[in-house]
Structure 1
Amino acid sequence: MRRFLVRAAALGVLLAGLTGVPGAAAATGPVPLAPADLTGSVANTGISLSWRQPAGGPAVASFRVYEGGVAVRRTATTSAPMQYIGVNTTHTYTVTAVSATGVESAQSAPFTGTTWTPGMAPQCTEPAPTTVFDVTSSALSVRWTVGRSSPLLALSVNGRDHGIVSGTSLRVGGLTPDTSYAVALRRVGCGSQEPTVGYATTRTLPGTTNTTAAPRDLVVTGRSDRSIALAWSGPTDGSYVHQYAIYDGAYRVATSWTRSATVTGLFHGTGHRFTVAALNVAGNESEHSPVLSPSTEPCPAQPPAPARVSASAVTASTVRLDWTLESTATSYTVLDGNTVVATVTEPAAVLTGLASASTHQLRVVGLLTGCTDTPASAPVTVTTLPGAADRPAAPAGFQAGRATIADGYYADIPLSWSTSAGLTYRLYDGATVVGTYPAGAVTLRTRGAERHVYRLTAVNANGDESAPSGPVEVITPFLVAP
């Protein structure tokens, strides 16, 4: 029976087949703008990345996350959880945007984060670097970094409390021209002191004052995976409004002559922080409406199909399959004709126990959590090498023992299985060969907070592999600091 092997890379995030570098794709057309404001929420087992795609340029279909010049994640939205990448490890990421025709942007500015052990996280006084920009006579924008402590930050401008602010940026309007302003961020949920962790000063430009009251009753009237429709009421004082400006965090995303607007160019499953300001004839901003935090529809309306599918015959019993997907899939189904032969979690599979000189027509479908599946990839045909027909039986009794912590950052994982005379045993971590062993046990040392999916095949004297054992999944433990 045809079986499969799942690839779970040693750091849990490196995806087989994603080895391109920015600009390497043979595609033509306008170049997208580079993603901006790349940041990360750092935890003990991973780093959750998020970024912003600036308005303008050609439409963006997907994004690629790079580490060390290698694309380690492809996604169709503006976030990427990099999970099980090892405790106390440092990672530097950049992101590129990819147009619908496959043209890739320049890289974003990098983000560097170090995963940490619980009990060793920075304290509430960890800085939240704060930047003030796009200052006019009546408004300013603030951008900050959350850090690894409590994510609850409260914003004040010249002592006026704007309350807890979500996300990493906000626009503040209704300011007085030619006036000095101090912006402060304090961390909430850290006891009674609520220390100030971000601070910046600026001066508004000379000009006229906009005394119009803030728009109100901001609501969502419709949404899709790429847009959100908004409506609101005018100022309570009934004053004349020349135009309205709609902001997402600190960035203007639309203007409207009426009390409604549809914000487009968004990405599925993303949260937004909308406010609306009334503009006078001079373009000065009133105070902003309260923040509204909706999300786009969670599923892409037209998910892409897996692409760049390649298959190679490794032996008379084994083939390897690799592919890419410009979206985020939780798993993949591999089909041989119309028969499911593999369900894997990353874009690579090794099929073992196949017949010699047998031909297989393989396709891949991505499985999107809570959403429709992707279309199937174009088929690829592969034929195993000629050879003997006999195959050993799949190993029995494959199991993981109790992992022991070697030090604060590493653990030893004992694996064992039953053996038969004349056979050796090949251990896989996903689709990666860990080693070939003559005995029925091995102990692997791995870093804490990594995910591994091990499978074992039996190999006969001809080098032909059995179908694999059932999977043994391990998330390696680590020492929790006091």
Structure 2
Amino acid sequence: MRVLAAAILALGGVVGPGAGTLPAPTDLSVVGGGETAVLTWRQPPGERARAFRVYEGDVEITRNTTTSAQLTNLGFARTRTYTVTAVDGAGRESPHSAPISRWIGISGVPPTCPAAHPSGLVASGVTASAVTLTWTGNGDPGTNIVRGAPAGPISTDGSGVRVGGLSPATTYTFEVTHLPGCFGPMPPPLRVTVTTAPGVGGAPAPPTGAAVTAATDTTLALAWQPPAGGAARYAVYDAGRRVATTAGTSTVVRGLYHADHYTFQVAALDARGNESPAVAVGGSTAACQARPPRPAAVTATALSASSVRLSWVYDAAASGYTIYDGTGAAVGVSAGTSTVLSGLASATAYSLRVAATLAGECGRSGASAAVGVTTPPGPAGRATRPADLRMVSGDPLTGVVTLEWTQPPGGEPAVSYRVYRGAEVLATADTTRIALALPQATTQVLTVAAVDGRGLESAQSAPLTIRVPYLPPP
């Protein structure tokens, strides 16, 4: 099975969703409104996921190596439904998460929450002094309040907590109330009744001064002060799951995802195993990966004597890509994971690599493996590269935008022009002006190439990024 998976990966494919061993992501949440939102999720414990894939319906719309994704070009006044899968080191996808649907409104108006509430409250890990409570989130980025603990209410944005400081052989009723983070009704609370195990009472006091002392892209270092009276050891929990035990007053939690916020609980334990109430400590991993992935599965196909189509896959968030030739010179840029390089020489072998410009000012990835392609024979001349591509008007009622550019003198005469969006030809024009109907309230990255009488293209213009105008509904 591993050999088959490796062979599929070498061909740029994947083993389909559900074929892998990773559990599906949980606790999806959408924050934002208007044309941009952030989708977040949690990955259950187990093998660390290499990457995540976000789907709208059956269509993959983005990937990332952490537990969030920026959603753009959403338009307005629409309901959108997303799922997420986790990908392991062999490229196998988990089953899809439970879907989340949100009505995306006008900028400044939060998404509307459905009439949902947390469910499946379960008690586990019951000892004489502590219990773990877990539940399934409702997709809303609000806060959960756990009541019933002797030390008072516990607030968390996660879907689990460790409750300590309990008495042996005692029955407790815990209540979890969700405070919505977006516009919607407050759901009814969840309740569970638990009886602690028999034992000798006298749990220690909680530690104090818990803080994050250092962070990398995959680790958080925690430290705290011992409680009065001391402790035999300490336990660290993430959403109610124990992630570390130590006799000292510090530890490092590993295997985390970059650019993510974590809230841990630290509890003190005595020699009999009695557990104190836990104290919360939160911190964020580094935003930038120390070793970001490289673009992979790069393919190159000659379209003509002057142009080549490139495509690739990339697991992390990127703001754009740069294409390099065999000498290391940049020969093109792309906003997405496919593009057309034009204005190339006829009957010429090219060795091309792709590097990603990482999101969040995190620099660039390493370049991909090289891919070779040879343009077919043809004439040597090319039209000059169009210049000064600009949007001169836009209709907010229809989304029709008018573009203009100039054609510098020299080279083969241009008889037409092709307007590109990545590798897609959006339109052709006979003059240096064109009107295009584009999706309203979206950002578009466009280029234009001149075409001579033999159908060969010039190099593409510098890219133009435009915001398609729109008139929000009343």
What SS does the aligned partner of 2:446 have? strand
8 Å Cα contact 1:154/1:161 also seen in 2:
no
- Would you say 1:186 and 2:174 are equivalent positions? no
Instruction: Please list, as runs of the form range in 1=range in 2, the aligned pairs for 1:233-252 lying within 5 A after superposition.
Output: 233-236=225-228, 238=229, 241=231, 243-252=233-242
By how many angstroms is 1:83 displaced?
1.9
Q: Which residue of 2 aligns with 1:412?
A: 400
Q: Which residue of 2 aligns with 1:295?
A: 284
In the alignment, the residues of structure 2 paired with residue 256 and residue 181 of structure 1 have an alpha-carbon distance, to the nearest angstrom, of 28
8 Å Cα contact 1:144/1:169 also seen in 2:
no
**Equivalent of 2:208, from 198, 201, 216?**
216
By how many angstroms is 1:462 displaced?
1.4
In the alignment, the residues of structure 1 paired with residue 247 and residue 330 of structure 2 have an alpha-carbon distance, to the nearest angstrom, of 55
By how many angstroms is 1:364 displaced?
1.3
In the alignment, the residues of structure 1 paired with residue 244 and residue 421 of structure 2 have an alpha-carbon distance, to the nearest angstrom, of 48
Q: Tell me the TM-score normalized by structure 1.
A: 0.81
User: Which amino acid is the alignment partner of residue 412 of structure 1?
Assistant: V
% identity of equivalent residues: 35
Q: Which residue of 2 aligns with 1:358?
A: 348
**Equivalent of 2:416, from 414, 418, 424?**
424
By how many angstroms is 1:367 displaced?
2.5
Q: Which moved more, 1:243-252 or 1:305-314?
A: 243-252
Q: Which residue of 1 aligns with 2:81?
A: 92
In the alignment, the residues of structure 2 paired with residue 207 and residue 282 of structure 1 have an alpha-carbon distance, to the nearest angstrom, of 13
8 Å Cα contact 1:171/1:249 also seen in 2:
yes
In the alignment, the residues of structure 1 paired with residue 312 and residue 181 of structure 2 have an alpha-carbon distance, to the nearest angstrom, of 45
- Would you say 1:471 and 2:463 are equivalent positions? yes
In the alignment, the residues of structure 2 paired with residue 285 and residue 90 of structure 1 have an alpha-carbon distance, to the nearest angstrom, of 46
Q: Which residue of 1 aligns with 2:436?
A: 444
Q: Which residue of 1 aligns with 2:42?
A: 52
**Equivalent of 2:394, from 390, 395, 403?**
403
In the alignment, the residues of structure 2 paired with residue 424 and residue 188 of structure 1 have an alpha-carbon distance, to the nearest angstrom, of 53
By how many angstroms is 1:473 displaced?
1.2
Q: Which residue of 1 aligns with 2:382?
A: 391
Structure 2, unmatched stretches of 5+, are 1-10
Q: Which residue of 2 aligns with 1:112?
A: 101
CA 1:446–1:250: 2 relative to 1, 3 Å: farther
**Equivalent of 1:232, from 218, 224, 228?**
224
CA 1:119–1:326: 2 relative to 1, 3 Å: closer
By how many angstroms is 1:274 displaced?
1.2
8 Å Cα contact 1:449/1:476 also seen in 2:
yes
CA 1:174–1:116: 2 relative to 1, 3 Å: farther
In the alignment, the residues of structure 2 paired with residue 84 and residue 442 of structure 1 have an alpha-carbon distance, to the nearest angstrom, of 23
User: C-alpha root-mean-square deviation of aligned residues, in Å?
Assistant: 3.5
How many residues were matched structurally? 448
- Would you say 1:73 and 2:73 are equivalent positions? no
User: Which amino acid is the alignment partner of residue 391 of structure 2?
Assistant: A
In the alignment, the residues of structure 1 paired with residue 173 and residue 142 of structure 2 have an alpha-carbon distance, to the nearest angstrom, of 26
8 Å Cα contact 1:229/1:260 also seen in 2:
yes
8 Å Cα contact 1:95/1:108 also seen in 2:
yes
CA 1:133–1:172: 2 relative to 1, 3 Å: same
Q: Deviations over 1:253-296 (max 9, x none)?
A: 2233443322111122221111112346776643211x222122
In the alignment, the residues of structure 1 paired with residue 451 and residue 420 of structure 2 have an alpha-carbon distance, to the nearest angstrom, of 13
In the alignment, the residues of structure 2 paired with residue 195 and residue 23 of structure 1 have an alpha-carbon distance, to the nearest angstrom, of 34
8 Å Cα contact 1:48/1:82 also seen in 2:
yes
8 Å Cα contact 2:177/2:189 also seen in 1:
yes
8 Å Cα contact 1:87/1:447 also seen in 2:
no
Q: Which moved more, 1:426-435 or 1:472-481?
A: 472-481
User: Which amino acid is the alignment partner of residue 16 of structure 2?
Assistant: P
Instruction: Please list, as runs of the form range in 1=range in 2, the aligned pairs for 1:2-81 lying within 5 A after superposition.
Output: 22-23=16-17, 31-57=21-47, 59-81=48-70
In the alignment, the residues of structure 1 paired with residue 348 and residue 317 of structure 2 have an alpha-carbon distance, to the nearest angstrom, of 32
User: Which amino acid is the alignment partner of residue 341 of structure 1?
Assistant: V
In the alignment, the residues of structure 2 paired with residue 212 and residue 303 of structure 1 have an alpha-carbon distance, to the nearest angstrom, of 43
By how many angstroms is 1:344 displaced?
2.5
What SS does the aligned partner of 1:327 have? coil
Structure 1, unmatched stretches of 5+, are 1-16
Q: Which residue of 2 aligns with 1:332?
A: 321
In the alignment, the residues of structure 2 paired with residue 355 and residue 293 of structure 1 have an alpha-carbon distance, to the nearest angstrom, of 56
Q: Tell me the TM-score normalized by structure 2.
A: 0.82
In the alignment, the residues of structure 2 paired with residue 272 and residue 443 of structure 1 have an alpha-carbon distance, to the nearest angstrom, of 48
By how many angstroms is 1:452 displaced?
0.2
